[in-house]
Amino acid sequence: MSFFDEGSHVKITPHVDVSAFANALQNRQTFVVPAPSPRMVQAMARQAQQSYLPLNPAALSTKPMSFKLPSSGSTITASSPQSAFAPLHPKELSSFISKPSTLVLDIRPHGQYHKSRIHGAINLAVPSTLLRRPAFSLDKLCSMLPDAKDQKVFQHWNSAEVIIVYDADSTVLSDVSNVQSLLNKLKAAEAPGRLCYLFGGINAVAACEVAGL
């Protein structure tokens, strides 16, 4: 088993001196790694489970995460424990964007938004640091919109039946995703409508040749 280069190898032994281990790392020499006891292995496993499992273990899925855009009409599933928001297939857009009760939010930079966008979407090009800041409320977010008409549309977030958030190409959300950060903020504000994100972003819409850009 190589480590750093072909001239370094790992040997398993019950004991190792910490200083010798550090020197071996620095000099790219052969070093020994302590074999953990069964009790240590169990403790490490418990710690890993506590660090990565969600608060509700029932929310875990054993199905693998899929990144391929499914065909229209099929159900999209993303077994990501970090996200509680449903993905929306691009070909389902037409049934939502024509309704006045749907709020569509584009979080891409202004330049990309002006080149192409979903019909009726308003642009929320806000820095990720602000989106993740709990004290940065939806009212403050609304005040950053340069267009008064967009501000008026966004103010109806608390009465929208469906809120769709999209970026360029997100398929699975994570804690560092701006899409999820905005959805989390809407959820924390108790938005009554269905919160979802566009699977594959606007790039998927273009690939599926969906009308509405």
- Dump pLDDT digits (tens) for 104-147: 999 999 999 999 999 899 999 999 999 999 999 999 999 999 99
What's residue 52's pLDDT?
39
Rounded distance, CA 101 to CA 149, Å? 16
pLDDT at 15: 47
Cα three-residue angle 131-203-145, rounded to 5 degrees: 35
Provide the pLDDT for residue 40. 62
E-only strand ranges, 52-147 = 86-88, 102-106, 122-123
What does the pLDDT read at residue 37?
A: 62
- pLDDT < 50 regions, the chain: 1-16, 21, 30-33, 48, 51-70, 72-82
- State residue 175's pLDDT score: 86
Give the containing element (helix H, strand E) for 2.
strand 2-3
Backbone dihedral angles phi then psi of residue 168, each to the nearest 5 degrees: -80, -45
pLDDT of residue 208: 83
pLDDT number for residue 108: 96
Burial class (CB in 10 A: 0-12, 13-18, 19+), 186: buried
Residue 5: what pLDDT?
36
